[in-house]
């Protein structure tokens, strides 16, 4: 049974997912996935996956049969298990938790397409709608504090052996450290200024323009001022909202369009690089957790896209001190397509 | 001129090191280094490097000539520059600092040996002595708050194209985020228990033994309870001390021996994996910074060794939530050499 363990010094939770690999020689090198005809994520191969949790279907087709547009299945190698009680216990100075959670795979297209950049904006909008539907459903489970939506594209970005475009979500019984740090930072700024730091950041980027990549239909894409990775991109909604799951349905298509444009720029300009993205949104507001009263005002959901062009070394791991080999202003200029 | 930029939301500093790569196609794939006869780090090739900052020499040989055992040179691609004033300024909501610091390369042997595991314990002890000498020297520069000693071995761990065994150090004008988190965590524990959390951790590991890899001559090596990486190892001094640079000289050889054994186990048992290590020690205690009065008692220096067997994906980057695919107890058992 996997466990959630807490580092006693800095309080970071780690999932000890023992069922993924057992011996040192099982830490795999890249493996070729099955060819198109045998891909379990393609339409027509529904029987090769666990039964679906949810699917977007335009017709009244039955579950686990062809006719879907986006399909959600449980991970076959889950980091966390959905069954069981949330038990938190000590072991001397250590803390651990049973590894309760959900781990789902969102298959983004019925066709054998690898990069989300090659889906249509409309299709990406359906993926966005699916993310939101799943988050709302998982919010009902009182054991969970957070749902993380993320994508690993390409081997160097942690992608698996199957090529078929997909993303993942994980519902966790603890708030991720990185998200907590953002919540704390955003609240500190709000306490002093009584304004959302992300709203101020968007305003400054729209005025200065040097790190702005795209401003389109309610969303902005920027190179963050203190980017960790070359060509890192953040997509933010211009209208203040702490909660991705409350995005107005009429904006799904605009977010789809923004993601399509940005991911296509990365694909084209950087020779189809591996990348990750993560959606940062506010945690579930459970009254008993006494959550930050101001979270509605001080936090702002956004998407962080991280091309994986550089290797991350001991320095970064050991220190939290990143080295980015390109100026964010140059990266933005390059991605805007006005390279000198 | 490189800059240090602060993420406005979570306060992480990033070095924007623009001189490392300029265009997307310059983010390199592995490159073969020069053969043994042309390696600039080998004895006899001193003229191929910048003049040395320091060297361990047993004879009275002149600087920048053969006859050394450990040699320290400035990085030819420094992340930070030693010249200039420390200027901190704002830019709207953003903070930045001139990128002042030191970036040095510690050449660990005059011979063309790639892995520190293949050096003798005595040689590693000389490397330890060199680290300490450099830290003490850099501490005199009032602009610096911290010296980070680290090693990137192998391409996947961020190692460069040269094979020759070396480590690096960076002196920074800001405390690294990760170290700060440890300081805060350790102080919280001390405030409540009036004991050092690392001392308690060592005590528990020595009693429970399941995560203990080696207990030898004043040092312990353990698999940390909440390991982020498979086969991660921490080496800690058993006697309490917050400051690596105050290690008693008679212990250098014992630390050298411990490192030799652990690095050899990793090399042998995990097929010579890429790895990083980082030395975590207390920041320089500048009186004007009003540093934590209890740091002498609550913090405990240590070395974190991280084999790079797994890829780190978007999930980890975006959340600070790590997934480790092997139980630390199994990793310790394996490294102890008593695999069932």
User: Is B85's pLDDT higher than 60?
Assistant: yes
The pair phi, psi for residue A284, each rounded to 5°, is -60, 135
- pLDDT confidence of residue A19: 58
Residue to test with chain A: of B149, B188, B321, B336, most A Cβ within 10 A: B321
Cα Rg, chain A, nearest whole Å: 20
Residues of A (170-209) whose Cβ lies below 8 Å from B: 170, 172, 176-179, 181-182, 184-186, 189, 197-198, 200-201, 204, 208
DSSP assignment of A29-69 = PP-----GGG-TTSTT-GGGSPPPSEEEESS-PPTTSS-EE
Confidence at residue A177, expressed as pLDDT on a 0 to 100 scale: 85
Q: For A263, how many CA atoms within 13 A lie in the half-sphere containing its CB?
A: 25
Supply the pLDDT for residue A294: 81
CB contact under 8 A, A318 and B224: no
Contact with chain A for residue B120, Cβ under 8 A: no
B80/B77 Cα distance (integer angstroms): 9
Band of pLDDT at residue A313, cut at 50, 70 and 90:
low
Predicted pLDDT of residue B232: 94
How far the first Cα of chain A sits from its last, in Å, is: 55
Judging contacts by C-beta atoms under 8 Å, the chain A residues touching residue B176 are 318-321
The whole-angstrom distance between B190's CA and the closest CA on chain A is 11
| Chain A residue numbers touching B226 (CB-CB < 8 A) | 5-8, 12-14, 16, 94
Please provide the average confidence, as pLDDT, over all residues in chain A.
88
On whether any CB of chain B is under 8 Å from the CB of A293, the answer is no
Gap between the Cα atoms of B226 and A116, Å rounded: 34
Taking an 8 Å cut-off on Cβ atoms, the answer to whether A278 and B314 are in contact is yes
User: If you count residue pairs, one on A and one on B, with CB atoms under 8 Å apart, how many are there?
Assistant: 289
In this prediction, residue A229 carries a pLDDT of 87
Residue from the list A182, A306, A323 with its beta carbon closest to the beta carbon of B10 = A182
How confident is the model over A172-183, as a mean pLDDT? Answer: 87
Chain A contacts of B148, Cβ < 8 Å? 315, 318-319, 321
Best-predicted range by mean pLDDT (A51-65, A80-94, A300-314): A51-65
- Phi, psi (rounded to 5 degrees) for B103: -135, 110
Superfamily of domain A3-336: HIT-like (3.30.428.10)
DSSP-assigned beta bridge partners for residue A91: A94
Contact A16 B324 (CB under 8 A): yes
The pLDDT value given to residue B315: 62
Nearest-neighbour CA in chain B from A15: distance (Å): 5
Q: Which residue of B has its CA nearest to A335?
A: B24
A-contacting residues in B 202-241 (Cβ below 8 Å): 204, 208, 224-228, 230-231
Helix (H) or strand (E) holding B200: helix B197-208
Which residues 88-117 of B have a C-beta within 8 angstroms of A?
Answer: 92-94
Which of B154, B271, B318 to mutate against chain A (most A CBs within 10 Å)? B318
* B3-6 β-sheet, strand order: A322-324, B13-16, B3-6, B94-98, B88-91
Angle between helices B328-336 and B249-269 (to 10 degrees): 100
Q: Where are the domains of chain B?
A: 3-336
- Whole-model pTM: value is 0.90
**Is the pLDDT at B339 greater than 50, yes or no?**
no
Question: What is the reported pLDDT for A317?
Answer: 67
Question: Which residues from A are below 8 Å from B28, CB to CB?
Answer: none
Q: What is the pLDDT of residues B165-203, one digit of tens each?
A: 999 999 988 888 888 899 999 999 999 999 999 999 999
pLDDT over threshold 80, residue A21:
no
**Based on the number of CB atoms within 10 Å of its own CB, is B92 exposed (0-12), middle (13-18) or buried (19 or more)?**
middle
Provide, as residue numbers in chain A, all residues whose Cβ is less than 8 Å from the Cβ of B7. Answer: 224-226
CA-based nearest distance B184→chain A, Å: 8
Give me the half-sphere count of Cα atoms (radius 13 Å) on the Cβ side of residue B57. Answer: 16
Residue B160 to chain A, least CA–CA distance (Å): 10
- Model confidence over A249-298: pLDDT tens digits? 999 999 999 999 999 999 998 889 999 999 999 999 766 555 567 888 99
What is d(CA A189, CA B319) in angstroms, rounded to the nearest whole number? Answer: 21
Decide if B226 and A157 are in contact by the 8 Å CB cutoff. no
Cα nearest neighbour of A188 on chain B: B9
Q: How do residues A44-80 score in pLDDT, each as one tens digit?
A: 999 999 999 999 998 777 899 999 999 999 998 777 8
Beta carbons of A52 and A133 less than 8 angstroms apart: no
A249 near A131, Cβ under 8 Å?
no
Cβ of B148 and A326 within 8 Å?
no
Q: Of A186-195, A202-211, B7-16, which gets the smallest average pLDDT?
A: B7-16
pLDDT value at residue B310: 75
- Taking only the tens place, the pLDDT of each residue in B18-62 is 755 555 555 555 566 777 788 999 999 999 999 999 999 987 778
- pLDDT band of B325, cuts 50, 70, 90: confident
Segment B105-121 shows an average pLDDT of 97
Among A14, A148, A317, beta carbon nearest to B278 = A317
B323 near A CB under 8 A: yes
For residues A228-243, give the mean pLDDT: 95
Of B188, B289, B179, nearest to B242 by C-alpha is B179
Asked if B334 and A304 come within 8 Å (Cβ–Cβ), the reply is no
SS3 state of residue B102: strand
**Token pair listed for B111:** 């011979």
pLDDT number for residue A339:
45
In this predicted structure, what is the pLDDT of residue B196?
Answer: 95
Counting every residue, how long is chain B?
A: 340
Say yes or no to pLDDT of A216 above 80. yes
Chain A residue whose CA is closest to B151: A314
Which residue does chain A place closest to B14, by CA atoms? A322
Cα within 13 Å of Cα(A234), Cβ side: 24
Residue A280 is predicted with a pLDDT of: 95
CB nearest to A18's CB, from B176, B318, B326:
B326
Task: Kindly list the residues from chain A whose CB atom is less than 8 angstroms away from the CB atom of residue B12.
Answer: 226, 228, 320-322
How many angstroms separate the CA of residue B267 from the nearest CA in chain A?
A: 12
Using the Cβ of B168 and the Cβ atoms of chain A, whether some distance falls under 8 Å is answered with yes
Average confidence score pLDDT of chain B:
88
Is the Cβ pair B12, A322 closer than 8 Å?
Answer: yes
Percent of chain A residues topping a pLDDT of 90: 60
């Amino acid at each position: 049974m996997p466990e959630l363990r807490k580092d006693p010094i800095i309080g970071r939770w780690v999932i000890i997912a023992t069922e993924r690999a057992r011996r040192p020689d099982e830490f795999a090198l890249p493996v070729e996935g099955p060819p198109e005809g045998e891909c379990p994520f393609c339409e027509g191969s529904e029987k090769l996956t666990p039964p679906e949790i949810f699917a977007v279907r335009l017709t009244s087709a039955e579950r686990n049969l062809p006719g879907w547009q986006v399909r959600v299945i449980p991970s076959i190698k889950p980091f966390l298990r959905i069954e069981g009680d949330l038990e938190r216990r000590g072991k001397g100075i250590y803390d651990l938790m049973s590894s309760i959670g959900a781990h789902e795979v969102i298959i983004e297209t019925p066709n054998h397409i690898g990069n989300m950049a090659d889906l249509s904006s409309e299709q990406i909008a359906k993926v966005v709608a699916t993310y939101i539907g799943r988050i709302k459903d998982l919010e009902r489970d009182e054991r969970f504090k957070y749902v993380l939506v993320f994508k690993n594209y390409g081997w160097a970005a942690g992608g698996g052996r199957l090529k078929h475009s997909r993303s993942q979500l994980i519902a966790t019984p603890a708030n991720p450290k990185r998200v907590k740090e953002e919540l704390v930072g955003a609240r500190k700024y709000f306490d002093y200024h009584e304004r959302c730091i992300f709203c101020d950041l968007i305003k400054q980027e729209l005025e200065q323009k040097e790190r702005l990549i795209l401003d389109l239909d309610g969303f902005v894409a920027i190179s963050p001022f203190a980017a960790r990775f070359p060509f890192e991109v953040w997509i933010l909604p211009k209208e203040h909202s702490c909660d991705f799951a409350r995005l107005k349905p009429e904006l799904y298509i605009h977010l789809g369009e923004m993601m399509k444009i940005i991911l296509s720029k990365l694909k084209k300009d950087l020779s189809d690089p591996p990348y990750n993205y993560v959606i940062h949104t506010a945690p579930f507001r459970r009254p008993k957790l006494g959550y930050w009263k101001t979270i509605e005002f001080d936090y702002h959901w956004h998407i962080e896209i991280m091309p994986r062009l550089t290797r991350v070394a001991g320095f970064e791991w050991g220190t939290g001190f990143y080295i980015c080999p390109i100026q964010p202003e140059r990266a933005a200029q390059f991605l805007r397509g006005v390279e000198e």
